[in-house]
Amino acid sequence: MRNLLIFLAGAAALIALPHFLSFSQQEILVFLTINVLLVSSYRLLTLTGEWSLGHVVIMGVGAYASALFTKELGIFVPVSILLGGITAALLAVLLSFPLFRMKGFYFLIGSFAAGEIIRLLWKRFRDPFGGPKGIKGIDPMPDFSIGIYDFDFFEPVSYYYLSGAVVVVCLWILWRIERSPVGLTFHAVHWQDKLAEASGVNLRAYRTLAFAIASGFAGISGALLAHYVGTINPNSFDVEVMVFVLTWAIVGGTGTFYGPILGCIVLTVINEIVLRELGFEQMRPLIYGAIMILSILFMPKGLESVVQKLISRRATDGATGQEAKT
């Protein structure tokens, strides 16, 4: 009952949220929902112990695929978003053959190389990828009305509701996957790979599965982005974006499901809203870099460790209070 109330209150707050923000902040909110999905899908991959530098390019694969499906084949936009995710997942399965011959640092660099090759192919081949200028005029979501609310998807608020709903569903799926026997096996692949293998777990297959699922959700987030901004080019998915994803995950901490999401939200709010409002436009990268350094130096386990400390302190406070009563 109490959980249901908290859930309803949270949902109401999320629905009301954009109406308190300025237009540019509403736009940031849309990107934030997309990035939350991106960083959460990234965490699923890190569960198996592999850190990729190609995740943002995989997101771009979803974006390009969905854009081309609607443009060239005239597929209905919501369907093509899903197809974008599937394309990204299938490509990940293909990439897994060369990439999973490597581990650790070599996988990191190998995934970077693979991603960069894909990105350069977009840049090189004007047909169908549009070359360095990318694809313009991507079909937006068709508008519709549900009686009490007219969805006009050029408005950030409407798109926020759409992307928010999609992201919540995707996060729920990711959460269920992590809690399922498959998710537990991912943990085993990371922490007890020898034991898992001895127990008959096919390590390579589970790594590939995690990579494909993570890439599929990254592809969906890319497709959501493409149909919102309407234009994508190879530079939208370059290594600088990847660096942001990596820092969200590390600053937030990857030990828990909410860690990367927390990192993404906190860093985005600091970077896009607080620093902008304070008028540090030109110094933003400098302050952002300093925050990254300070947080890794003084909070190496991520923001989630702070949250965990707060929760456990409250729990012990509660326990001592109980003892005092009895």
Partner 1 sequence: MLDLLAQTGLNAVYAASYISLIAVGLVLIFGVMGVVNFAHGELYMAGAYAVVLLYTDFQIPFFLAVAVGMMFVGCLGLAMERALFRPLRDNPLGGLVASIGFLMILQSLAVMGFGVRMEHIPPVTQHVIEFSERVRLPLSRLFVIVAAVVLLSALWIFLKKTRFGWALRAAAQDPEAAALQGISINQTARIAMFIGAGLAGIAGAMTAPLVSVNPHMGHSVIVTAFIVIIVGGVGSLEGAIVASVAYAFVHTFVTTFFDGVIADITGLSLMLLVLIVKPTGLFGSADRA
* Residue of 103, 109, 107, 70 lying closest to 87 (CA atoms): 70
Token pair, residue 92, equals 């990940």
Q: What is the DSSP string of 93-143?
A: HHHHHHHTT--HHHHHHHHHHHHHHHHHHHHH-HHHH-GGG-B-SPPPPPP
- Quick one: which of 79, 278, 286, 311 contacts partner 1 (CB under 8 A)? 286
CB of 113 to partner 1, least distance (A): 5
Out of 110, 156, 183, 252, the residue judged to bind partner 1 by CB under 8 A: 110
- Which residue, 43 or 227, has its beta carbon nearer to partner 1? 43
Kindly state whether residue 250 participates in binding partner 1, applying the rule CB under 8 A: yes
Q: 13: Cβ–Cβ under 8 A, 6 or more apart, which residues?
A: none
Q: How far is CA 104 from CA 51, 219, 263, in A?
A: 7, 23, 23
Annotate each residue in 36-55 with x if it binds partner 1 (CB under 8 A) or - if it does not, as one string: ---------------x----
Given the DSSP bridges, would you call strands 150-151 and 144-145 parallel, antiparallel or unpaired?
antiparallel
Contacts of 311 (CB under 8 A, 6+ apart): none
206/189 Cα distance (integer angstroms): 8
Residue number with CB closer to partner 1 (39 or 114)? 114
Cα atoms found within 13 Å of the Cα of residue 8, Cβ hemisphere only: 5
Write the DSSP string, 206-261: HHHHHHHHHHHHHHHHHHHHHHHHS-B-GGGGSHHHHHHHHHHHHHH-SSSSHHHH
Spatial CA neighbour of 55 closest among 89, 94, 103, 98: 89
In the complex with partner 1, the residue whose CB is nearer, 142 or 300, is 300
Answer whether the bond into residue 128 is a cis peptide, omega within 30°: yes
User: Closest Cα partner for 262 from 227, 310, 214?
Assistant: 310
Residue 213 CB, nearest distance to partner 1 (Å)? 22
Q: Is 288 among the residues that bind partner 1 (CB under 8 A)?
A: yes
Contact flag: residue 290 with partner 1 (CB under 8 A)? yes
Among 94, 274, 293, 319, binds partner 1 (CB under 8 A): 293
Q: Which residue lies nearer to partner 1 by CB, 100 or 217?
A: 100
Q: Which of 6, 94, 121, 319 binds partner 1 (CB under 8 A)?
A: 121
| Sole binder of partner 1 in the list 94, 101, 202, 317 (CB under 8 A) | 101
Q: Given the rule CB under 8 A, which of 24-32, 84-92, 243-251, 317-325 is the region that contacts partner 1?
A: 243-251
CB of 63 closer than 8 Å to CB of 223: yes
Q: In the complex, what is the shortest distance from the CB of residue 260 to partner 1, in angstroms, rounded to a whole number? A: 13
114 binds partner 1 (CB under 8 A): yes
Give the interface segment with partner 1, choosing from 29-37, 180-188, 214-222, 296-304 (CB under 8 A).
296-304
Tell me if 297 contacts partner 1 by CB under 8 A: yes
- Whole-number minimum distance, CB 245 to partner 1, in Å? 12
Q: Which residues bind partner 1 (CB under 8 A)?
A: 51, 98, 101-106, 109-110, 112-114, 116-117, 120-121, 123-124, 239, 243, 246-247, 250-251, 282-286, 288-293, 296-297, 300
